[in-house]
Amino acid sequence: MAKKPRTSAAEQREIDPKDLSPRDRKTLGQITGLADTVVKAAASGRDPAMDIPARTLSNVRYNKTKRFIEMGAATNRRQLFNLNQAKSYMQTMLVAEGAKRLIVQGKTTSLRGMYYLLKHTIEGTREETFDDQEESDSVIEDLEVAIEALREELHVYAKNAGAMVGEITLIDSGDTIDCTRMGSGGYSIPSIVEPEVIQFAKCNAKFILHVEKDTVWRRFNEDKFWKTHKCILTHGGGQPPRGVRRLLYRMHHELDLPVYCLLDNDPWGYYIYSVIKQGSINLAYESKRMAIPDARYLGLRSKDFEECGLSNSVKIDLSDTDRKRAHQIMKYPWFAHKKPWQKEIEKLLENGFKLEVEALISKDISYVTEEYTPQRLADQDWLD
């Protein structure tokens, strides 16, 4: 009952297909293509089925040529006339229909919004289409890999996290954003940064400095590091979300800007670098649109405690988990054959402590912006 007026209201608001962006038209075509296979199968008397690429660790591999993690060819078949698969089949179709609705109305929503949009009691039963958001999140990922579209292209976004400031002017949804005039807060990097939403208008930057945390980013912004060094300054609030990774990717490739990462000297910092560089195992199918194999690791390094003459007060003991993670990361195929990286991680373990970027403040409030980073850049002293 609730469904009827909703659909008709939605239909009234549909964008004329010719006014859709080329990307939206493409995504829509892919969704329609998926639906067509069902119709075709039904018409020819076969069981409707979909093949969804397997999102499992065993179906992920490091591509040495492309230098990033990618998905293998394994797929899982999802059939309508199979009791175990009928529900997930139906869920996949629902998500596809939801994405279509968003696209044709020119709207976007959050993962939680998509869950509420699609959740309802199946007619004549007490069964819910989705029991919790985890179910719909997972099916959204299925659809992404199935039709090779980013979640953001399905008009679904995650929480904004990460900010940017510096020598770049961009157009975001038609508004001109001059990142040299963004005050202390900076430009909040949205989740959807596809060319339909964000275009680069002008760029005077020579490189991108990506820092791990908001607090460190703020030190650099306050000291106008981006002005002195003609760069773009970004942070991802820890592990950078997709929007930040995708924007870094676009700026790196489209504007030809090198990316330097300033992260904590601990396994988590190494991991963040690894994700920026080679992609993540979870989102391996998106590596080709997010991974930046040429990203460089500027610091902090395990040698910095001695090189910068830091005091014992700033040491943080490694935990057992840290040690375990460090050993795992040493074995990553993209670190395993790199002597400098092996030495870096060995030295961390030998030190027995980790260091946060903020620890450099014990030298001087602006040591990180005035001495540490400029010196490392001048010396080309980084890992990659």
Active site residues: 116
Asked if 159 interacts with a second copy (CB under 8 A), we say: yes
Report d(CA 199, CA 173) in Å as an integer: 9
Should residue 375 be labelled a site residue for a second copy when binding is judged by CB under 8 A?
A: no
105 binds a second copy (CB under 8 A): yes
Whose Cβ is closer to a second copy: residue 171's or residue 383's?
171
Minimum Å gap between C-beta 200 and a second copy is 13
- Does the protein bind a second copy through residue 241 (CB under 8 A)? no
Instruction: List, in order, residues 6 or more apart from 40 with CB less than 8 Å away.
Output: none
Distance CA 214, CA 236 (A): 7
The residue among 69 and 203 lying less far from a second copy, judged by its C-beta, is: 203
Rg of the chain over Cα atoms, rounded to whole angstroms, equals 23
- Residue 119 binding a second copy, by CB under 8 A: yes
- x/- map, 282-311, a second copy, by CB under 8 A: ---------------------------x-x
| Cα–Cα distance, 239 to 92 (Å, whole number) | 28
- Closer to a second copy by CB, 8 or 37: give it: 8
Residues 42-81 binding a second copy (CB under 8 A) are: none
- Which SS3 state, helix, strand or coil, does residue 369 take? helix
Minimum CB separation of residue 262 from a second copy in Å reads 15
User: The tokens of 207 are what?
Assistant: 């490189």
> How many residues sit close enough to a second copy to count as binding (CB under 8 A)?
65
> Which residue matches tokens 């020598």?
167
Give the residue with the Cβ less far from a second copy, 343 or 363: 363
Query: Which position among 110, 138, 169, 239 is part of the footprint of a second copy (CB under 8 A)?
Result: 110
**Pattern 2-41, binding to a second copy, x per CB under 8 A?**
x---x--xx-------------------------------
**CB 359 → a second copy: shortest distance, Å?**
5
Least Å from the CB of residue 339 to a second copy: 32
* Candidate residues 67, 358, 383, 384; the one interacting with a second copy per rule CB under 8 A: 358
Q: Which is nearer to a second copy, 45 or 183 (CB)?
A: 183
Tell me, what DSSP letter sits at residue 121? Answer: B
Residue 332: left (phi > 0), alpha (psi -120 to 50), or beta? Answer: beta
Asked if 139 interacts with a second copy (CB under 8 A), we say no
Find the binding residues for a second copy in span 181-240 (CB under 8 A): 181-190, 192, 197-198, 214-215, 218-219, 222-223
The answer to whether 250 contacts a second copy (rule: CB under 8 A) is: no
Residue from 78, 100, 101, 246 in contact with a second copy (CB under 8 A):
101
The CB-of-177 to a second copy minimum distance in angstroms stands at: 6
Q: What is the 3-state secondary structure (H, E, C) of the chain?
A: CCHHHHHHHHHHCCCCHHHCCHHHHHHHHHHHHHHHHHHHHHHCCCCCEEEEECCCHHHEEEECCCCEEEECCCEEEEECCCCCCHHHHHHHHHHHHHHHHHHHHCCCEEHHHHHHHHCCECCCCCCECCCCHHHHHHHHHHHHHHHCCCHHHHCEECCCCCEEEECEEEEECCEEEECCCCCCCCEECCCCCCCCCEEEEEECCCEEEEECCHHHHHHHHHCCHHHHCCEEEEECCCCCCHHHHHHHHHHHHHCCCCEEEECCECHHHHHHHHHHHHCCCCCHHHHHHCCCCCCEEEECCCCHHHHCCCCHHHCEECCHHHHHHHHHHHCCHHHHCCHHHHHHHHHHHHHCEEECHHHHHHCCCCHHHHHHHHHHHHCCCCEC
Q: C-beta of 360: minimal distance to a second copy in Å?
A: 8
> Quick one: which of 39, 42, 336, 365 contacts a second copy (CB under 8 A)?
365
**One character per residue 312-331, x = contact with a second copy (rule: CB under 8 A):** xxx-----------------
> Which of residues 101 and 325 has its CB atom nearest to a second copy in the complex?
101
The token duo for 173 is: 């949804």
Residues that bind a second copy (CB under 8 A): 2, 6, 9-10, 101-102, 105, 107-110, 112-113, 116-117, 119-121, 128-129, 157, 159-160, 163, 171-177, 181-190, 192, 197-198, 214-215, 218-219, 222-223, 309, 311-314, 356, 358-366
